[in-house]
Amino acid sequence: MSNQNGFVHHHKTKSEVSVTEDDSAINKKLPKELLLRIFSFLDVVSLCRCARVSKYWNVLALDGSNWQRVDLFEFQRDVVGPVVENISKRCGGFLKSLSLLGCQSITDAALKTFAQSCRNIEELNLNNCKEITDTTCESLGHHGHKLVSLDISSCPQVTNQSLKALGDGCPSLHVLNISWCTKITNDGLEALSKGCLDLHTFIGKGLSQVTDAGIGHLAKHCQKLKKLDLQGCSSITDEALHRSITDEALHRVGQHCNQLLFICISNCARLTDASLVSLGQGCPNIRTLEAACCSHFTDNGFQALARNCNKLEKMDLEECIQITDATLNYLANFCPNISALTLSHCELITDEGIRHIGSGACATEQLRILELDNCPLITDASLEHLTGCQNLERIELYDCQLITKAAIRRLRTRLPNIKVHAYFAPVTPPPAVGSGRQRYCKCCVIL
């Protein structure tokens, strides 16, 4: 592959390079394509050094084939505009993937040069490039029609204008991350989703101004959605009032997005069981549900979900404080593939619920991770119920004050590979007037 982007030093072209004068075996014996194959294993630093070795190696090192994927994460401290422009001109149409993650001083101007020079870009990571504004996405919309994956999370100056530009100019967009771009509103999502019909991954954490209407647009137009992350889509200014996403949004998702595999609604605290019903009805393929801090969810909602979503594998239900053993019973009956289950702070869970899980279809081979920290009613009996879970890798038991060390030891005998995370305060001496069994708690106070 030759360097086709017209990047030529004034003092050398390929025809001027005389290989025959070179004494080195490597240059005499190996043809260009094998040298390029060796170079294909080199990192950016090594390539830049090779470019300084000789005229011939300069041409080889700068060959476009070596610059299809560039990751500048290691250099983020030093990466400034001219560097990006230099790389853009060097790689030209060969560059397909670029990561500027954390390069906080990159500006729109550098990215405009980049967009103009590297029109075949497919994957671009601009996470935390805090200086960029809508101008960057406008440049991408003009020149980057092959863009497939874009991450502009934590770029606080981005507005709806960016989403409009992407919707207009990047029809092949499959993956978009606009987490923490807090200026985005429903209009932006509408413009985006109408243009990017093939979107299958949308990550939008912390979009505090987006409401049900915006999610509705997304669901209606992007029916191929497989991964949807709406964590914390609630206003951070007024927790009591403006928790923006409600059941209506999830109703729309259930209506349109039947290919959904992953959904995160953690910290969308206004949602109720109706959302779980919508998901159960419309999204039977869900594998992962993250619903931490959805404190209105009850057993009824999970019954509806579990009945229909039999492929569930991972569930984060931390602080779904209303759920009881009944939910665990439903999961045990309907979801044979559960491999990771987080029930932290689900304070109503008892040993009975764990007995259901331990005897459910997922128990023997599927269950790998179980988080029961801060479930105060759990006793040693729960650990007994789990002894048949041959593939259990990790269990969290912090602040399960009724669990004893002996029970954990017994569990470890049955499951030798398991990691048990628990904390036992060091022994403090008994009071002078001793009576009854000592109990330990995290603050080292004798109860």
Partner 1 sequence: MLKLSETKKRNIKSSEMPRSYACDKAVRMPMIKLQSLEGEVFEIDVEIARQSVTIKTMLEDLGVEDDDEEPVPLPNVNAAILRKVIAWCTYHKDDPPPPEDDENKEKRTDDICSWDAEFLKVDQGTLFELILAANYLDIKGLLDVTCKTVANMIKGKSPEEIRKTFNIKNDFTPAEEEQVRKENEWCEEK
At closest approach, how far in Å is the CB of 302 from partner 1?
A: 38
Give the nearer residue to partner 1 in terms of CB position, either 2 or 24.
Answer: 24
At closest approach, how far in Å is the CB of 428 from partner 1?
A: 50
Where in 54-83 is the site for partner 1 (CB under 8 A)?
54-55, 57-58, 68-69, 75, 78-79, 82-83
At closest approach, how far in Å is the CB of 196 from partner 1?
A: 21
One residue of 32, 76, 93, 97 binding partner 1 per CB under 8 A? 97
At closest approach, how far in Å is the CB of 62 from partner 1?
A: 9
At closest approach, how far in Å is the CB of 344 from partner 1?
A: 35
**Which residues are within 8 A (CB) of 342 and not within 5 positions of it... i.e. 6 or more apart?**
292, 315, 316, 317, 318, 369, 371
Give the nearer residue to partner 1 in terms of CB position, either 83 or 213.
Answer: 83
Element (H, E) at 303: helix 299-308
Does residue 8 interact with partner 1 by CB under 8 A? no
| E-assigned strand segments in 221-368 | 227-229, 262-264, 288-290, 314-316, 340-342
Tell me the number of residues near partner 1 by CB under 8 A. Answer: 43
Does residue 22 interact with partner 1 by CB under 8 A? yes
Biggest CA pair distance of the chain: 97
At closest approach, how far in Å is the CB of 198 from partner 1?
A: 19
Helix (H, G, I), strand (E, B) or coil at 239: coil
**Residue pair 339/362 in contact by the 8 Å Cβ criterion:** yes
Does residue 27 interact with partner 1 by CB under 8 A? yes
Between CA 278 and CA 257 the distance in angstroms is 11
Between CA 27 and CA 42 the distance in angstroms is 17
Q: Cα 438 from chain centroid?
A: 44
Does residue 398 interact with partner 1 by CB under 8 A? no
**Residue pair 268/294 in contact by the 8 Å Cβ criterion:** yes
Between CA 81 and CA 41 the distance in angstroms is 27
Give the nearer residue to partner 1 in terms of CB position, either 119 or 270.
Answer: 119
**Residue pair 293/319 in contact by the 8 Å Cβ criterion:** yes
One residue of 24, 390, 417, 438 binding partner 1 per CB under 8 A? 24
One residue of 2, 8, 13, 26 binding partner 1 per CB under 8 A? 26
Helix (H, G, I), strand (E, B) or coil at 233: coil
Give the nearer residue to partner 1 in terms of CB position, either 68 or 310.
Answer: 68
Where in 149-188 is the site for partner 1 (CB under 8 A)?
none
- The DSSP symbol for 16 reads G
Give the nearer residue to partner 1 in terms of CB position, either 77 or 439.
Answer: 77
User: For residue 206, what are its two tokens?
Assistant: 């912390």
Beta-carbon count within 10 A of 434 CB: 8
Torsion sign across C-alpha atoms 292, 293, 299, 301:
negative
Give the nearer residue to partner 1 in terms of CB position, either 29 or 437.
Answer: 29
Site string for partner 1, 269-308 (x = CB under 8 A): ----------------------------------------
Where in 28-57 is the site for partner 1 (CB under 8 A)?
29-30, 34, 37-46, 48-55, 57
Give the nearer residue to partner 1 in terms of CB position, either 50 or 132.
Answer: 50
Between CA 380 and CA 376 the distance in angstroms is 12
C-alpha distances out from residue 426 to 141, 397, 429, 438, 445, Å:
61, 17, 10, 12, 10
Give the nearer residue to partner 1 in terms of CB position, either 146 or 410.
Answer: 146
One residue of 6, 15, 20, 21 binding partner 1 per CB under 8 A? 21
Does residue 14 interact with partner 1 by CB under 8 A? no
At closest approach, how far in Å is the CB of 46 from partner 1?
A: 5
How many residues appear in the chain? 447
**Residue pair 198/224 in contact by the 8 Å Cβ criterion:** yes
φ, ψ (nearest 5 deg) of residue 150: -135, 135
Give the nearer residue to partner 1 in terms of CB position, either 58 or 324.
Answer: 58
Stretch that binds partner 1, among 16-24, 222-230, 257-265, 279-287 (CB under 8 A): 16-24
**3-state DSSP helix/strand/coil percent for the chain, to nearest 5?**
35, 10, 55
Residue ranges that bind partner 1, judged by CB under 8 A:
9, 11-12, 21-27, 29-30, 34, 37-46, 48-55, 57-58, 68-69, 75, 78-79, 82-83, 86, 96-97
